[in-house]
Structure formats: C-alpha cells, structure tokens
Amino acid sequence: MEGQAHTHPTYGHVVFAHMKQLVSNLNKKNYKVSVGELSQLIEVYGHDVHVFLLRLLISHVDLKAAKTTQDQTHARLQLLSQELGTAVTKFNFVSLINQAFDDVQLSEDFCGGLAKLLKLSFAQHLALGVALSQSREVALQAHGTNTVRLLVSDCTPPNLQTVPRAVLPALIGLVRAHPSLSKDRPRLLTLLQTAFPLSSLEPTLLPLLYPDTPP
C-alpha cells in the first residue's frame, strides 16, 4: 500500500523514496528534524505528498500492538496523530483522508481503536468518521457512518464547538441526509444549532444549518 500514490513523475519517485526513509528511521532523537523536513516536502509538493505521508504512516499502524513501547513505533504514531489533526482542519479533508485510507483493510472498530491509540480528540475522531462516510468505497462509507453513530452520545454543544469549521458542511450534510441517522436527526440538528447560533456562523454555513432563515 505504501508505494501507491499519484503525483508528477519528475519528482515522485525521488520524493517518495526519501519520505519512506525518513519515516522508517523516525525516532525520538531525530523527530523534530525529520518532521520538519517532511513538512517542507508537503509545503512544496502539496496534496499528493500529504496523502502519501498519511498512507505511509497508516501502513505502520498495528492495533494489536497498541501497547508497544518501541521508540520508532511511538514516533510514527505521534506523527500520524499530528498529521490527522492537521488534515481535518483543511477544507479538502474529505479527499485527504479518503485517499489516505484507500485500500486499507479496516476491522470493525478500526476508527475507534485508532482514535484510542492516537489519543484523538472528539472532534478529530468525528471528522475521521465524517470523511470516511463520503468514501467511494462502500465498506469505508459504512465504517465512517457507523463511527459517527457511535459518537452521537458525545455530541454535546461544547464538544461540537471544537469541530473544525472545515468539517461542518460535511457533518451537517451527513446528519440531514443519511438514513442511519434519521432517529437522532432532530436532536443532532438542535445540538448543532445550540453549538453554532446564527450570529456565530459564516454566510456560507447559514443555509446548511438554518435553511429556513432568509438570506
């Protein structure tokens, strides 16, 4: 999986090979320098390189070895947590995450296990589920929607207020449209409106959360 990525052929092979080396050798001592170098590569080459890094880090995740104390494993998990946290703040977070998880064989509670392993916040865990719910892969769609459903009980206004603005359109769309959320839909929409009153929202989000409000 880790070799799969699509980018410009004039730099792809060299950049990806270097990233593989940085991730393979990542440890506590070289963490700051290596992560700085990886960040520079993402800044220069953009989306495809970010996707490749996420895929590379996900390929190293072993939920069964969650209690490992190996320095390299801990460093990779720390970086994956950091990168997922960054990804869900971007307006292209859906494509970033779905491309990163493409072809990954997910166990029934992979997202829950990953969230626990990486110590993801409520907002990051929810965003991961929302993104996967929009995957072109049916299995990933179901996995993402189920993740959101499992987090419904935690959807308090204070928790929802921590959700990045980039995630809100996809989250609201999922709540409004997905059949599996029909039972919880009225309550979730009320909670979202409590968390994000009219006065706090950008004009682009108003018709999504308050469709009956005049423009």
- pLDDT above 90 coverage of the chain, percent: 71
**Structure confidence at residue 10 (pLDDT):** 55
Residue 214: is its pLDDT beyond 90?
Answer: no
What is the separation of C-alpha 154 from the centre of its chain, rounded to a whole number of angstroms?
Answer: 18
Residue 131: is its pLDDT beyond 50?
Answer: yes
Q: How confident is the model at residue 17 (pLDDT cuts 50, 70, 90)?
A: very high
**Structure confidence at residue 69 (pLDDT):** 55
Residue 65: is its pLDDT beyond 70?
Answer: no
- pLDDT above 70 coverage of the chain, percent: 90
Residue 27: is its pLDDT beyond 80?
Answer: yes
Give 166-176 pLDDT, tens digit per residue.
999 999 999 99
**Structure confidence at residue 106 (pLDDT):** 74
- In the numeric block, the tokens 């719910």 are attached to 133
- The reply to whether the predicted model has a pTM over 0.85 is yes
Residue 7: is its pLDDT beyond 50?
Answer: no
**Structure confidence at residue 53 (pLDDT):** 95
- C-alpha distances (whole Å) from 65 to each of 16, 53, 61, 73 are 26, 21, 8, 10
- Helix (H) / strand (E) element for 82: namely helix 71-87
**Structure confidence at residue 74 (pLDDT):** 87
Neighbours of 195 (CB within 10 A): 19
Average pLDDT over residues 196-200: 94
Angstrom distance (rounded) from CA 171 to CA 61? 26
Q: How confident is the model at residue 5 (pLDDT cuts 50, 70, 90)?
A: very low
Mean pLDDT for the chain overall: 88
Q: Which of 123, 152, 27, 42 is nearest to 78 (CA)?
A: 27
